[in-house]
Structure 1
Amino acid sequence: MASDHKEFIQRGSYGVNPRGTATFVGLRSLDPFLQYQIITHGSAIVSKLGLTSLPSLSGLSLAKLPLPSQILLAMSAGSALKHVFWVIYLAKEKMIPGTAIGVGIYNSVVNSLMSLLLVTTATSAVLASPSVAIPGTSQSLSLPIVLGTAMFAAGIVAETVAEVQRKRFKDDPANKGKICTTGLWSWARHPNYGAYTLWRTGYALAAGSWPAAALVAAWHGYTFMAMSIPELDGYMNGRYNEQWKRYKKDVPYLLFPGIF
């Protein structure tokens, strides 16, 4: 997981909090249904705000929705599925109810804003140019939607792979007391944070085009650099000391290998 909850994790407090886990799974699982309601009834919300919306999608089933709307709903479902997989299978620290509620609300608020951007004429990535033809069909999508979809898919996969690699490393008794330095962790010190930023930016790009993507990228870059990374650096330095210092020297990149 990423900056939307990292500062609230009780590091070193291992185990399972059933109520916290159930709350987290429940809230994240509800998000795709919330986004469907916003996308199909968003025109009424946008009108109340005094803005112009795309044609109403009220009453349309998922299969009948325009492709951009289906893509955004798939992103909501994909990110929820990834988070549920994380809390059930990957996480070692306890997920307490308060954190579960905070993270669940944060994700739904951000996703809801993206859904509203998609259905608002002034911000929708649907109307952005240029457009890209979909091979084998008569349809086309705007470049922001195509690029955003690719970024989302790459980010979700990379974040999951990084966290699975770390879990497998930590689960091996031979690696007790060692920092994971294999796989994606040999390329950057926080590949999961970089991947999270990538898919969150892709989500915003596919919804609200370039301005939304720039704001989301800047926001997550700031929260990682100002909060999550310093907090984790202090924890790792206190626990691993010289091993952590050596790792930082061997792997100079924070988020994106070869870039930053």
Structure 2
Amino acid sequence: MADSARANDPRSEASKEKDLISRGDYTSTPFGKTTFFLTRALDPFIQYQILAHGAGTGLLHSVGLRTLSPGLPTQTGISAIDALGLSPYRLALFGMAVGSTVKQNIWVAFLSGEPMTVKNSLIIGAFNSFFNSLASYAFLIRATSASTESTFPQPALLVGGTLYVTGILTELVSEIQRKRFKSNPRNKGKVYTGGLWAWARHINYGAYTVWRAGYALASGGWIMGGVLGAFFFYDFANRGVPILNEYCEKRYGEDWDKFKKQTKYRLIPYIY
């Protein structure tokens, strides 16, 4: 299956090895995509155990790190939410974990046509859970937590939450727009240049960077938000965009060159 999934990918072998998603092939991979779906669906349960019950904090305490007290549970009058027993801040972070799972599972179930192996599904799922868990623990540790003020909501949560919502909705909407375009038989072999993609050629990558930075900022404060935002920006600018650009150049030819001229930004409009 791996060989057939690469058959229509015109990129160099070096580029293919750096990409966890095969391009140019639409072979059905139900086991791989089901693995992705289930792996991502597990993440909210992991984050809940960390935020609600302090799972893993015993190890942090053993090395001298202090963690926040649980805080007063949220009272919204909605039984399903109040039953979680999370403070307002923790509830917001848990919502971000749930939101990332929902967005990515919508993508794998309805928007992505490329094949996905079980191995790569596990890698991508573990990658996202790692960074979500990093955010949860950064919030719990007193030395790094963004919850350093008595009033709620704190500035870090307001700014981080805004970046998160903006980024994750931009990523989802852009992928829905592209899917609708590609689903029309008249557009076969054409590059999509409309909608949000008219603002940046890889707007979905840029949006992922934004919501990841926002999630980190809301959890671990301004420094963590900046560091992780820079990490994802660097990775996409130096790995993700170049290897996908190579594919698009070879698949779309002059149409891709024209798109690059009319849409000069690669990841984030007016920035890069």
TM norm. shorter chain > 0.5: yes
Q: Which runs of 5+ in 1 are unaligned?
A: 132-138
Kindly state the Cα deviation for residue 56 of structure 1 after the two structures are TM-superposed.
4.4
2:160 corresponds to which letter in structure 1? G
* Corresponding residue for residue 245 of structure 1: 257
* Partner Cα distance (1:252, 1:62) in 2: 49
Does the residue aligned with 1:154 lie in a helix, a strand or coil?
A: helix
The alignment status of 1:46 with 2:46, answered yes or no, reads: no
2:232 corresponds to which letter in structure 1? H
Task: Calculate percent identity across the aligned residue pairs.
Answer: 41
Q: Displaced runs of 4+ in structure 1, greater than 4 A?
A: 59-62
Asked if structure 2 preserves the Cα contact closer than 8 Å seen for 1:32 and 1:73, the reply is: yes
Indicate which of 65, 75, 82 corresponds to 2:86.
Answer: 65
Kindly state the Cα deviation for residue 8 of structure 1 after the two structures are TM-superposed.
1.1
* Corresponding residue for residue 256 of structure 1: 268
* Corresponding residue for residue 136 of structure 1: none
Cα shift readout 1:107-135 (whole Å, capped 9, x = no counterpart):
1111111110011001101115xx7xxxx
* Partner Cα distance (1:62, 1:15) in 2: 43
Asked if structure 2 preserves the Cα contact closer than 8 Å seen for 1:72 and 1:115, the reply is: yes
- After TM superposition, the structure 1 stretch with the greater mean CA deviation from structure 2, 70-79 or 14-23, is 14-23
Kindly state the Cα deviation for residue 31 of structure 1 after the two structures are TM-superposed.
0.3
TM-score in terms of structure 2 length: 0.86
Asked if structure 1 preserves the Cα contact closer than 8 Å seen for 2:52 and 2:85, the reply is: no
* Corresponding residue for residue 204 of structure 1: 216
The 1:247–1:6 alpha-carbon spacing in structure 2 relative to 1, beyond 3 Å, is farther
* Partner Cα distance (1:225, 1:72) in 2: 27
* Corresponding residue for residue 196 of structure 2: 184
The alignment status of 1:74 with 2:95, answered yes or no, reads: yes
Aligned length: 246
* Corresponding residue for residue 113 of structure 1: 134
Q: Give me the CA root mean square deviation.
A: 1.9
* Partner Cα distance (2:113, 2:201) in 1: 19
* Corresponding residue for residue 112 of structure 2: 91
* Corresponding residue for residue 171 of structure 1: 183
The alignment status of 1:13 with 2:34, answered yes or no, reads: no
Asked if structure 2 preserves the Cα contact closer than 8 Å seen for 1:79 and 1:156, the reply is: yes
Kindly state the Cα deviation for residue 171 of structure 1 after the two structures are TM-superposed.
0.9
* Partner Cα distance (1:56, 1:67) in 2: 10
1:89 corresponds to which letter in structure 2? F
2:235 corresponds to which letter in structure 1? T
TM-score in terms of structure 1 length: 0.90
Cα shift readout 1:83-119 (whole Å, capped 9, x = no counterpart):
1100000001012101100001111111111110011
1:173 corresponds to which letter in structure 2? P
